[in-house]
Amino acid sequence: MDTLDLGQRFAALEEKLGVEDYNYEHFRTKHYVLDVQGTLKARGIEPGEFAPDWDLSDAMGGSMRLSALRGTPVLLHFGSIT
């Protein structure tokens, strides 16, 4: 889908939620507690350990593998305001 088409579709929505409508407290508390519990149980990978390989679709319709970035610093940022 073209970015312009997406922007036009968003502008045409009757009801839009702003950042102030997002329930951060609900997600922050719940996910923070689960994250701390997982850390205490030593769940996940350790610092310096290789992450599992995965494919990610990009915005241009292509894909990339995490292993293709091996040897370079990688910062993963996950977020959503939906």
C-alpha 24/C-alpha 82 separation (Å) is 11
Task: Tell me which of 8-12, 45-49, 71-75 is least confident.
Answer: 8-12
Give the pLDDT score at 80.
67
In degrees, rounded to 5, the angle at the alpha carbon of residue 68 between the alpha carbons of residues 62 and 72 is 125
The answer, as to whether pTM is greater than 0.85, is no
Asked if residue 37 belongs to a domain, the reply is yes
Assign 3-class secondary structure to 19-74.
Answer: HHHCCHHHHHHHHHHHHHHHHHCCCCCCCCCCCCCCEEECCCCCEEEHHHHCCCCC
Q: What is the pLDDT of residues 24-67, one digit of tens each?
A: 666 667 777 877 787 777 777 777 888 889 898 888 889 989 99
Domain count, the chain: 1
| Domain span including residue 10 | 3-42+52-69
Domain annotation covers residue 47:
no
